[in-house]
């Protein structure tokens, strides 16, 4: 049980406790860094002793007065006084005299002009290295800011038999040199080789008897330039292109000559037999196609007797090779109907037999 405080003995040490002075720890003087002498303490300043409780660590603590001094590069005149860096406090003492402002930037030019009044001087810009926030550097965005470019269209590939082209995939039988080849219903198509299609001349003639009647030969030629010409030796239409001195196809007596050196200019040639009087003909005989190398192809002209135009042979340029096909198509009517039936619709006709030259 606690004793009664009213009965406690009087104490004589209370006046001494009320008037005693507390001993305070000495405050270390601020460290002044001389920027001219590479971080050494300025003359007259006392370096602070580091405390054992605050041993240096791996980071840089600039908020304490014991922080190491930073070195600077001073390229200005040697007579300029060195600026002191006070890191002990963020605000100047109240009793300290006013100091001229110092520029924190690196001045390589002439000294700045003095201020007009001491009161108008601006306070020195403080260097706050204790702030935990740092300016964020602008990021470099390498991604596309606009719409993504459209993918390039795939290049159009040329037709080829290996890619399933129906025309180039068909390989007709070749011409055998030294032996005549007959184009029949079972074998209506034959092809010349590239050498046979590009060397010399291709000669087309007819072998018919007088019993056939008033038989004539004509041809429609279509060039790669888009020109279409009717060839008829009896009417004076003998060359294609018209009026040239170097014809691709030339009409001769009872036949035609194809200049194989100009094969790339020839797209298609169709040879037909007809009667200029529109009489009934007893179709018989054959067309004979010969090359300079001795190759020969025969096309029969056998049909039932009747009027009209018998389209016997077509020559098509397929990738540099001439393909011969026996058409054996009897078209009723005049030459105009035969031309329209086989796609030669570029011609302008004066009448059913005569095109406009």
Match 């279409």 to its residue by tokens: 228
The confidence score (pLDDT) of residue 239 equals 92
Which of 106-115, 150-159, 238-247 comes out lowest in average pLDDT? 106-115
- Cα separation, 208 vs 287, in Å, equals 8
The confidence score (pLDDT) of residue 169 equals 62
Q: Which residues contact 119 (CB under 8 A, 6 or more apart)?
A: none
pLDDT digits (tens, 9 = 90+) for 53-103: 444 444 444 445 444 444 445 555 555 544 444 444 444 444 444 454 444
The confidence score (pLDDT) of residue 335 equals 92
Q: Is residue 271 predicted with pLDDT exceeding 90?
A: yes
Q: Is residue 107 predicted with pLDDT exceeding 70?
A: no
Match 């054992």 to its residue by tokens: 52
Asked if 315 and 258 count as a contact pair (C-beta separation under 8 A), the reply is yes
Mean pLDDT, the chain, as a whole number?
A: 74
Asked if 314 and 322 count as a contact pair (C-beta separation under 8 A), the reply is no
Q: Is residue 46 predicted with pLDDT exceeding 70?
A: no
What is the rounded average pLDDT of the residues 315-323?
92
Greatest alpha-carbon span in the chain: 172
What is the number of other CB atoms lying within 10 angstroms of the CB of residue 258?
26
What is the rounded average pLDDT of the residues 164-185?
76
Q: Which two tokens stand for residue 277?
A: 């009087």
Q: Is residue 152 predicted with pLDDT exceeding 70?
A: no
**Phi/psi at 190 (nearest 5 deg)?**
-150, 155
Asked if 274 and 289 count as a contact pair (C-beta separation under 8 A), the reply is no
Categorize the per-residue pLDDT at 270 as very low, low, confident or very high, splitting at 50, 70 and 90. very high
Give the residue among 194, 181, 163, 201 at the shortest CA–CA distance from 292: 201
- Residue ranges in 190-332 assigned as alpha helix (H): none
What is the rounded average pLDDT of the residues 145-166?
65
pLDDT digits (tens, 9 = 90+) for 193-223: 899 999 999 999 999 988 888 899 999 999 9
Q: Which CATH architecture fits 181-341?
A: Sandwich (2.60)
- Cα separation, 93 vs 116, in Å, equals 25
pLDDT digits (tens, 9 = 90+) for 7-35: 777 777 766 666 666 666 676 766 666 66
More confident call, 279 vs 125: 279
Q: Which residues contact 155 (CB under 8 A, 6 or more apart)?
A: none
Q: Is residue 356 predicted with pLDDT exceeding 60?
A: yes
């Amino acid at each position: 049980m606690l004793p009664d405080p009213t009965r406690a003995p009087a104490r004589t040490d209370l006046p001494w406790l009320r008037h005693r002075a507390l001993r305070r720890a000495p405050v270390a003087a601020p460290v002044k860094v001389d920027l001219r002498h590479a971080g050494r303490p300025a003359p007259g300043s006392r370096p602070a002793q580091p405390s054992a409780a605050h041993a240096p660590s791996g980071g840089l603590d600039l908020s304490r007065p014991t922080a190491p001094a930073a070195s600077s590069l001073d390229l200005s005149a040697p007579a300029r006084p060195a600026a002191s860096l006070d890191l002990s406090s963020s605000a100047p003492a109240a009793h300290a005299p006013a100091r001229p402002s110092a520029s924190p930037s690196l001045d390589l030019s002439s000294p700045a002009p003095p201020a007009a009044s001491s009161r108008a001087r601006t306070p020195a810009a403080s260097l706050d290295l204790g702030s935990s926030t740092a300016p964020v550097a602008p990021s470099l965005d390498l991604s596309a800011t606009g719409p993504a470019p459209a993918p390039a269209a795939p290049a159009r590939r040329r037709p080829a038999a290996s890619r399933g082209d129906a025309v180039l995939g068909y390989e007709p039988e070749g011409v055998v040199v030294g032996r005549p080849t007959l184009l029949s219903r079972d074998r209506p198509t034959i092809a010349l080789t590239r050498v046979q299609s590009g060397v010399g001349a291709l000669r087309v003639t007819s072998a018919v008897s007088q019993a056939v009647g008033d038989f004539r030969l004509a041809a429609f030629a279509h060039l790669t330039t888009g020109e279409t010409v009717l060839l008829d030796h009896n009417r004076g239409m003998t060359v294609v292109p018209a009026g040239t001195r170097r014809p691709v196809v030339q009409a001769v007596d009872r036949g035609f000559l194809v200049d194989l050196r100009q094969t790339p200019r020839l797209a298609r040639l169709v040879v037909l037999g007809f009667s200029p009087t529109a009489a009934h003909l007893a179709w018989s005989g054959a067309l004979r196609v010969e090359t300079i190398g001795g190759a020969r192809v025969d096309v029969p002209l056998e049909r039932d007797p009747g009027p009209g135009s018998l389209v016997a042979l077509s020559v098509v340029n397929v990738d540099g090779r001439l393909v011969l096909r026996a058409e054996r198509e009897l078209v009723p009517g005049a030459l105009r109907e035969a031309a329209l039936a086989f796609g030669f619709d570029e011609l302008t006709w004066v009448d059913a037999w005569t095109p406009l030259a």
